[in-house]
Structure 1
């Protein structure tokens, strides 16, 4: 079978787990080139992982043998990069979020749909073993109808993290803890509990960080199913704790903390599953295994070959960003 040929756009913080994952998939994927804005960072990344450097993004797009692009550039560049890739008939795997505003995010999804190319989004947590087990419980009826679903994300980022140019700004990132960190858990929440009909929320920038966007958000939710919900997300909780997702169903309660899943059934049974992988909840954002990225990339490649949607789609990402927009709707500083 011919290998799927992928080019990488961006060699920043998010690129390392993808690189490690792609090297494990070298039987079915070939990295044909890497492009980026920083020559020094690009050279270091490519040499570290043994990838070739492409002359330019135009060269990637003009190469008819390239099947897809993996876009890992800053969020505020996504739309234009995806527009050009879709016009060149390249499939796109895009790091979250889609872009920095709903208008740009919706356009990002639409251009791929109009061009007939696949758009996958890097929601790698869907592929973590404990999340997969939780998803099965929620979708196969084991938990019964869901009465409550919640996310509790108490992470830590030092000020040095936000001192990096563009971090936690609306112009580059589109927001703070919700768009950059909690977006993964919110994706799982909507995937398993469905869409939200009502939101009552508040956001803030605590005294622990100097940054433009929020480092704290809370919300009370009502899902379209009638279930209640709750969100708490912050990057101001030193030293950082594993994120928690709760699903309370008619037959029992499932509690997922990091990779530790416990299910308490009303008949007295208790099921437990432990996945040792972390999620970068402390001062080291990339302190996690690349295994979930590998499985996401494998699914994306299979989606291209089988002409089907990947597990995490652009429409899934739109759902999450719409919820984030509703949570931050009363944030006066948001443009």
Structure 2
């Protein structure tokens, strides 16, 4: 095997989530160098750069992209800016790794896909839970048929966010955050669900604003059917004082489940073979390595793909399937009917925005005569 290249990375946006990216890049410093950061707040950019030993800072993303030779740029800004910044980087020829959600709507994803085809530059999304060792093992056993047919699954993101969480002006607003816990919190969990179970067929959902001072939902509940016949329940909440993230898959030959909060280790997983299938326990056989599912694993996989000249994950096509599931959850909840995969087409209001203009608790707009 040839020695791996040392790649050049930059970060746009130096808020809270950017630290997870910088820490992951530091862990992988034999493979990548963080060479520059940009933030509209010059003082914050300088403080971030000093903390991580970065030599160059910018207050303008376009200036960074014009000045630096880069192999990847990390977009760590609020959700409403993900698409314009990703397009800026793609047109500069730099592969993009953007935090979730990739975009605020399916229409924005259509725009990204058009620019990706035009430039040949990929835009990738952070869905790090796909890349933990146990999730990779599960994906392998599910895809090769070892576990039999998937039958039923449960996906729960039961988190808690106080009212003060919404003090930031971009939080809780459909136009700038895209949605509530379905878009911003539970999406990591149900992205992993979709990665294991494959294409979904239909979604029936409910959503509510129970207690939080937000324009979006603070709870959603969905039931989904998959192409392979599996059924799943998906709960997304930010009103749950005992926080947990839980996934359970019941296959013909085994139950596989994980419970954690913001990242799992091998020890957080439980594997239960069906009667007479103790051989599968040997196939699972994960001794805890103490590693938490994190940005490190996804970045390592991206650099492995760069080394091999293959397509890195998570691709725009995969991210689109996940975001379409979120859009279908909202459309079903607000229209009061099941939504089929592919039903939200070009002219559908839910393609243009996740609220579809149908949020039942939204204030009625006055019309002028």
Normalised to the residue count of structure 2, the TM-score between the two structures is: 0.81
Whole-Å separation in 2 of the counterparts to 1:62 and 1:5: 14
Separation (CA, whole Å) in 2 of partners of 1:131 and 1:159:
33
Q: Deviations over 1:71-106 (max 9, x none)?
A: 111111111111111111111111111111110122
Indicate the residue corresponding to 1:235 in structure 2.
Answer: 238
Q: Give matches, 1:178-193, under 5 Å.
A: 178-193=182-197
SS in structure 2 at match of 1:100: coil
Match of 2:31 among 20, 28, 31: 28
* Aligned counterparts of 1:252 and 1:171: Cα–Cα separation in 2: 43
The aligned residue for residue 247 of structure 1 is 249
| Structure label with greater radius of gyration | 2
Please report how far the alpha carbon of residue 256 of structure 1 lies from its aligned counterpart in structure 2 after TM superposition.
1.6
Residue of structure 1 in register with 2:224 after alignment: 221
Is 1:206–1:216's contact at 8 Å kept on the other side of the alignment?
yes
**1:277–1:175 CA distance, 2 compared to 1 (3 A):** farther
Q: CA deviation at 1:70?
A: 0.9
CA distance in structure 2 between the partners assigned to 1:100 and 1:118 by the alignment:
18
Structure 1 contact 3–29 (Cα < 8 Å) conserved: yes
**Residue 108 of structure 2 corresponds to residue 104 of structure 1:** yes
Count of residues paired in the alignment: 322
2:207 equivalent in structure 1: 203
> What RMSD in Å do the two structures reach over aligned CA positions?
2.2
Which residue is equivalent to 2:315?
313
Aligned partner of 2:41 in structure 1 is 38
Structure 2 contact 130–195 (Cα < 8 Å) conserved:
no
**Could you tell me which residue of structure 2 aligns to residue 302 of structure 1?**
304
Partners of 2:247 and 2:287 in 1: CA distance: 15
Aligned twin of 1:152: 156
Pairwise CA distance, 1:275:
5.6
Matched position secondary structure for 1:151: strand
Q: Deviations over 1:213-250 (max 9, x none)?
A: 11101011111112111111101100312x11111111
Unaligned runs of 5+ in 1: 279-288
CA distance in 2, matches of 1:37, 1:273: 44
Q: Determine if contact 2:254/2:271 at 8 Å carries over to the other structure.
A: yes
Give the gaps of 5 or more residues in structure 2. 335-354, 363-369
Moved more, 67-76 or 1-10: 1-10
Per the alignment, do residues 186 and 3 of structure 1 end up closer, same or farther by CA in structure 2, a change over 3 Å counting?
same
Query: Residue 78 of structure 1 contacts residue 108 of structure 1 at CA under 8 Å; is this kept in 2?
Result: no
User: 1:85 maps to which residue?
Assistant: 89
Contact 1:83 1:111 (C-alpha < 8 Å) held by counterparts: yes
Q: Which whole-Å deviations, capped at 9, do the CAs of 1:162-187 have from their partners, x for residues lacking one?
A: 22221122122100101111111111
Residue 11, structure 1, aligned to residue 14, structure 2: yes
Aligned-pair distance for 1:42?
1.6
Alignment partner of 1:266 is 2:274: yes
1:286 match: none
- Is the Cα–Cα contact under 8 Å of residues 200 and 224 in structure 2 kept in the other structure? yes
Is structure 2 residue 126 aligned with structure 1 residue 122? yes
The aligned runs of 1:48-59 (5 Å cut-off) are: 48-55=51-58, 56-59=60-63
Indicate conservation of the 8 Å contact 1:120/1:300, yes or no. no
Please say which of residues 5-14 and 140-149 is displaced more in the overlay: 140-149
Secondary structure of the corresponding residue to residue 26 of structure 2? helix
Give 1:211 deviation, angstroms. Answer: 0.9
